[in-house]
Amino acid sequence: MGESGTTDNKCAGVDCQNVAGSLKCPTCLKIGKEACFCSQDCFRRSWTEHKAVHKTSSTVLYNPFPKFSFTGPLRPIYPLSPKRTVPDSIPHPPWSDDGDPKYKFVGRNTITVLDKKQQDRMRKVCRLAREVLDVAAREVKPGVTTDHIDEVVHNACIERESYPSPLNYVHFPKSVCTSLNEVICHGIPDQRMLLEGDIINLDVSLYHGGFHGDLNETYYVGAKAAANPDNVRVVETARECLDEAIKIVKPGMAFKDPGTVIERHAKTRNCSVIKTYCGHGINTLFHCAPNVPHYAKNKAVGIAKPGMTFTIEPMISLGTYKDKTWPDDWTSVTQDGSRTAQFEHTLLITEDGCEVLTARNADSPGGPVPMPEV
């Protein structure tokens, strides 16, 4: 059963007068309903009658791409929930209405340097983005749908008077990217429930005060996931690759250099680096120069200077580095169905190094798991 915060509603158990606890029927969550129970025993006792509720639901779950050749076991589970709205009182980015970022052409070698006031605005939006990611991560548990996580992220953004940057960006339909198992990035939240043993990446981006903050982490779903040696190898390798890359970030660093560090470390763990996607500049624009590839021998241009802000976000695979995109035009998966993991920070170049604007807090969920012995 899934569980979240407590509720003051009456228990859904048959002939039960107790106040409902935090336990929710996972099937109801899957079909867009909610039924809370006071205890596991009450849920089991009521199951025979309660399950009739599921048959009366008008919501039919389905795979929208039944003829697509999927590379792994994961399938989309539709329908998607309706597009979530953002109050007009919160400033919206240019794409909020029609999906078009409307960016004016900027040369790929033109990298913005922020002044002190702009740097402070980046610090604020990145701090808010970290808060939202942590709120979402606390919801990661078996039985929860990725659509529920999207709702949590969306509401947390609104509470912080922020717009969730992914929402309608080039028509992305949701407020967060939820990428499970073989999904490299850009997974669309749907009715799929998290299962014990999954790994999931949550990619959160906020727009606040005219600036964007961007970060992501990969989490283990249940104890079984964290006990799986392959899960741990890919997740912790991705985490370490980001940490190793950040160590070299300082004024004068070539933007091609992090890729060398990342690929070298990934190979020591017998993992590969996804080449299609890269880190990027971020400020008043969601994506801009510089490009920061994560693989060696890349041809990225530019040199880091104080005041520049950008992301590093290595995507690491247990198998091939090659990717394939689902027919939704967003979900990117490994061609061999192997599992992947990713971590991302937004960084600010300082006079003598860098500042991790999206750094973890002392109470942030997740965190490293010991690497299995070979």
Kindly report, residue by residue over 272-303, the tens digit of the pLDDT.
999 999 999 999 999 999 999 999 999 999 99
pLDDT at 108: 60
Percent of the chain topping pLDDT 70: 94
pLDDT at 2: 33
* pLDDT tens column, 230-286: 999 999 999 999 999 999 999 999 999 999 999 999 999 999 999 999 999 999 999
pLDDT at 3: 35
CA 30 to CA 191: how far, in whole Å? 6
* Cβ atoms within 10 Å, residue 141: 15
Where b means 16+ CB within 10 Å and e means fewer, 44-61 reads ebbeeebeeeeeeeeeee
The model's confidence at residue 330, banded by pLDDT at 50, 70 and 90, is very high
Place of tokens 């990713």: 342
CA 121 to CA 123: how far, in whole Å? 5
CA 104 to CA 107: how far, in whole Å? 10
CA 316 to CA 258: how far, in whole Å? 14
Please say whether the beta carbons of 165 and 205 come within 8 A: yes
pTM value is 0.85
CA 296 to CA 256: how far, in whole Å? 8
The model's confidence at residue 163, banded by pLDDT at 50, 70 and 90, is very high
CA 356 to CA 344: how far, in whole Å? 10
Of residues 38 and 316, more confidently modeled:
316
Q: Beta strand 315-317 with 288-292: parallel, antiparallel or unpaired?
A: unpaired
The model's confidence at residue 49, banded by pLDDT at 50, 70 and 90, is confident
pLDDT at 198: 98
* pLDDT tens column, 63-116: 999 999 999 999 999 999 999 999 999 999 999 999 999 887 555 679 999 999
pLDDT at 8: 46
Phi, psi for residue 166 in degrees, rounded to 5: -65, -20
Cβ within 8 Å of residue 159, ≥6 positions away: none
Cβ within 8 Å of residue 22, ≥6 positions away: 3, 4, 5, 6, 7, 36
pLDDT, mean of residues 12-17: 85
